[in-house]
A and B are shown apart, each in its own frame.
Chain A
Amino acid sequence: MGDRIRRLSRLVPTAAIARLGSRLRDAAGGAASAARVAIPDPLAARIVRAGDAFGRRFPAVSLALRNLSRQRLRAGLAALGIVIGVFAVVALGMLGTALQTAATEELGGLGNQVIVSPAAESGEETLDSRDLAAVERAAAGRGTVIPLKSTGGTVSGGGGRTVAQVYGTTNPRPLFGDAPGVPDYHRQGALVGADVAGALDLRVGSQITIESNTYRVVAVLPPQSSITPLRADSAVVLPPDEFATDGFSQVVVQADSGGDADAVARDVRERLNVRERRVSVFSLTSVLDQITEFFALLNGFLLAVAGVSLVVAGVSIFNVMLMTVSERRGEIGVLRAVGIHRDQVLRTLLVEATLLGVVGGVVGVLIGTAGVVLVALNTDLPLDAVLVPTNALVALGAFAFGATVALVGGLYPAYRAAWEPPVESLRG
C-alpha cells in the first residue's frame, strides 16, 4: 500500500497537493507500522487522484507549477516585484478613495443646497411670498424648500451675553440637524446652537433674551460636523412669526441630489431673473464638482505613480522569463520534438508568467488592504471611508493589472521560445 500511494503521490502534478499526499502517506505509513491504525487509504488516494486529475485536466498549469518550483528564489523575487507594484496601487488607490469619501462626507449636503437671497442691485432686503412661491415651483419634486428669516442679534441668558445669528423658520431640522426637542414644526421657544449653548451655559428649559423678548430653550442643536453656509453652531432659531418683517432674508432649497440642486438653481434664475436680477442664487454644486475633480486628478496621479512600479515589475517578469526560456531551450526543443504543439508550449510558459502575477497580485492586495486599514485605525481617517465598494474595485483592478502585467511580460519570451524551430532549441 505504501508503495502504491508513494507512487501515486509522485504523480500528483501540483507540488502542494503532492506534499499533502506525501504527508498523508507518511502519516498512514507511520501509523500503520506503529499502531496498525492507518488513516483511511481511500482518503489519501482520493486526494492524490484529484491532484492527478487536475494535472491531466490542466497540463499547462501543472507543468508551469513544476517549472516555477525549480528556481524558487528567482520566481519569488519576480513575484515580489508584482507584490510591491500591486501593494503600491492598492495602498495609494484605496487611500485616495478613502480621502475622497471622507472629504465628501465632511462637505455633507453642502453640494445639494441652493441658497436664494435678494440681489444687491434689486434694492430689496427680503424675498416676498411671490418669490418664495416661484422658488417652491422650481424646487417641486426636487427637494425641500425652507424659507429663512435671519438677523444678527445679542443673546443674553444664564448670566452672560453673546452675539448670535438669529434665524426664523418653521422647519429647522433639514438645515440645523436633529436633536431631542427639535420640533417638526417650530412655533414656539428657541433652538440654540452648540456654541451659544456652551457660551451661555444653556440647556433645555433655560431662558434667553433677545431684544427684550424672552424665550425658553426647547432644544440644543447638535454641533455641525459638515460645512454649511449657515452658521448653525452660533445660531438661535426662533419661529418666523417672532420677526417683525414679513419677507424672508433667504430661501434655502435642500435638493435631493447635486443634479437636482443644479436644476433648481437654473430654474430659479429663469423664473426670477429674466427681466431684472431680483435674486442671487448660490449653489455649491459646482464647487463640489471641482473638489471631486481635484480628487480624481490626485487619485489618477497616485495610481499612475503606483502603476509605474507595477510596470517595472512587469519588466522584471519579462527578464526572468527570458532567462528561464533561454536556460530551458533544450527542454523546450524536446517538448516540440516529441509532439507538443507550439501553442501548448506557449500556453505553459504564459501560465508560468501569469502565475507569478496572480500570486504576487493576491499577496499585494492583501498587504495593501491591511496597510490601509492599519492607517485608518491609527489616524483620523474613518474606517468607513476605507471600506467602501469603490475600494473593492481598486483591489480587484490592481490584482487584474498585476496579473495582466505579468502575462504581457511573459508574452514575448514565451512566443520566442515556442516559435523557435526545435532544431535550434535542441542545439541550445
Chain B
Amino acid sequence: MTGDPSADVADRAGDESDGAADVPDGAADVPDRASDEAASAVGGIVDPARTGEGAAASDARVSAADLAGTDDTGTGPTKAGTPIRLVDVTKRYEGGGGTVTALSNVDFAVGAGEVVAVVGPSGSGKSTMLNLLGLLDDPTAGRVELHGTPVAGRSERERTDVRRETIGFVFQDFHLIPTLSAVENVRLPTAFLSGDHTDRAVDLLERVGLGDRLDHTPDELSGGQKQRVAIARSLINEPDVLLADEPTGNLDRDTGVSVLEEIREIAAGGVGVVAVTHDDLVTDYADRTVELVDGVLDDG
C-alpha cells in the first residue's frame, strides 16, 4: 500500500473505458494492498470479539491504531486496521405506534481497503446502520468503535471533528450545494478550516475525471458527474471510511459502473467503503456483501 492512496487513483484514472472487465483484478488487488491485519479483518472475521482469534486480531488492530502517527510502516497513519466497527449494536426508535427496533445486536466491521455492500429490503435498517457508522446517530445499546476506541461520550463538537477527519459521505441524491462550483463543493468540508484546499480539490476532481468541469455548477453536470463531485468531496479530508448511501441509486447502469469503479479505486488506496444499496451492480463490485433483514445482520 502506498503512502498516498490517492496516487493510485490518479494512476488508474482514465481506465474507466475498460469497464467491468477490471473489476475482478481490482477486487483481487485489495488483500495484496492491505496490511496483514487488515487482510485478516477482510478475510471474513466479522465478529472477532466472539472468538479468541478475533480478539487477537482486534488487539493487533488496536496496536496498529496506536502506532498511528509514527508512520514507520510507510502506510498512512490512519489507513491500517479496522477504521470503524459496530459492536453488538441495537437501535430502537420510539414511534407513535410503539417501539421500532431498526437494528438488533449487529456486529459489523469494515477493514481498510475493503468494500462492503449492505443490502436488504426497505426498512430493514440499512440507513440506520449507515447513520451509526457515520457517527450521525447513537445506538440504543452496544457501541461504535473508531480505530478500536468507543465513540460514545464524545461531545457533538468532537464527533463533528471526527466525521470531518475520518469519514466521507456519498449520498444517493448527491447533495451538492447548487450555488457552488464543482471545486467549491469539493472543498466545502474545509470551508471553515484554515488554509487553502483548492489545489487538493482540483487534484481530486482531476482524479475522478472532472478536470474539465471544475467551474461547473451542479446543474451543469450530469448525474454521474455530480456523484463524482460528491465522491471527490468525500475524499477532501483523506477519510479512513467512505459511507455511500445508494451511490448508484440515481444513475443509469453505465454511469453506475464508472462510479463504482471510482469507489474501487478509492478502496484500493486503503479506504474502507460501506455502500448501502438495492443495486445488484454494487454487490458485484464489493469484496463482501452483508444482508440486513428486519434489523438483523446476515453475513451471507
Interface positions of A (Cβ within 8 A of B): 6-7, 10-11, 13, 52, 56, 59-60, 62-63, 66-67, 69-70, 330-331, 333-342, 344, 421-423, 426
A336 to B137, CA, bound (A): 12
- In the complex, whether B253 has a CB less than 8 A from a CB of chain A is no
A276 to B136, CA, bound (A): 90
Contacts of A423 in B (CB 8 A): 131, 136-137
Q: A7-B214, A7-B215, A59-B191 are in contact. Are A339 and B163 (CB under 8 A)?
A: yes
A338 to B183, CA, bound (A): 15
Mark interface residues in B180-223 (1 if CB within 8 Å of A CB, else 0).
Answer: 11011000110110001010000000000000001100000000
Can you name the residue of chain A whose Cβ is closest to the Cβ of B215?
A10
Shortest CB-to-CB span from A425 to chain B, Å, is 10
Q: A69-B179, A330-B175 are in contact. Are A340 and B160 (CB under 8 A)?
A: yes
Are A70 and B157 in touch, CB under 8 angstroms? Answer: no
Q: Name the one of A67, A333, A340 contacting B192, with C-beta atoms under 8 angstroms.
A: A340
Are B191 and A66 in touch, CB under 8 angstroms? Answer: no
Q: A70-B178, A334-B169 are in contact. Are A341 and B196 (CB under 8 A)?
A: no
Are A334 and B175 in touch, CB under 8 angstroms? Answer: yes
Q: Name the one of B164, B180, B198, B214 contacting A339, with C-beta atoms under 8 angstroms.
A: B164
Shortest CB-to-CB span from B143 to chain A, Å, is 18
Contacts of A337 in B (CB 8 A): 134, 136, 163, 169
Are B137 and A338 in touch, CB under 8 angstroms? Answer: no
Shortest CB-to-CB span from B146 to chain A, Å, is 14
- In the complex, whether B161 has a CB less than 8 A from a CB of chain A is yes
Are A341 and B181 in touch, CB under 8 angstroms? Answer: no
A342 to B157, CA, bound (A): 8
Contacts of B163 in A (CB 8 A): 337-339
Q: Name the one of A66, A330, A338 contacting B179, with C-beta atoms under 8 angstroms.
A: A66
Shortest CB-to-CB span from B242 to chain A, Å, is 12
Contacts of A333 in B (CB 8 A): 175
A13 to B177, CA, bound (A): 13
Q: A6-B215, A421-B137 are in contact. Are A341 and B169 (CB under 8 A)?
A: no
Within 8 A of A (CB), among B4-61: none
Within 8 A of A (CB), among B152-183: 156-157, 160-161, 163-165, 168-169, 171, 173, 175, 177-181, 183
Q: A63-B191, A330-B175, A334-B175 are in contact. Are A11 and B160 (CB under 8 A)?
A: no
Shortest CB-to-CB span from A420 to chain B, Å, is 12
Are A66 and B169 in touch, CB under 8 angstroms? Answer: no
Contacts of B134 in A (CB 8 A): 337
Are A426 and B181 in touch, CB under 8 angstroms? Answer: no
Contacts of A62 in B (CB 8 A): 191
Q: A6-B215, A10-B215, A66-B179 are in contact. Are A422 and B136 (CB under 8 A)?
A: yes
Can you name the residue of chain B whose Cβ is closest to the Cβ of A338?
B189
- In the complex, whether B126 has a CB less than 8 A from a CB of chain A is no
A56 to B233, CA, bound (A): 17
Are A339 and B160 in touch, CB under 8 angstroms? Answer: yes
Not counting A10-B215, A59-B192, A70-B178, a sample of 19 additional A-B residue pairs whose C-beta atoms are within 8 angstroms of each other reads A7-B183, A10-B181, A10-B184, A10-B214, A11-B181, A11-B215, A52-B196, A59-B191, A60-B192, A66-B177, A334-B169, A334-B171, A337-B134, A337-B169, A338-B163, A338-B168, A339-B161, A423-B131, A426-B136
- In the complex, whether B237 has a CB less than 8 A from a CB of chain A is yes
Can you name the residue of chain B whose Cβ is closest to the Cβ of A344?
B192
Mark interface residues in B48-86 (1 if CB within 8 Å of A CB, else 0).
Answer: 000000000000000000000000000000000000000
Shortest CB-to-CB span from B95 to chain A, Å, is 14
A342 to B192, CA, bound (A): 12
A426 to B128, CA, bound (A): 12
Contacts of A70 in B (CB 8 A): 178-179
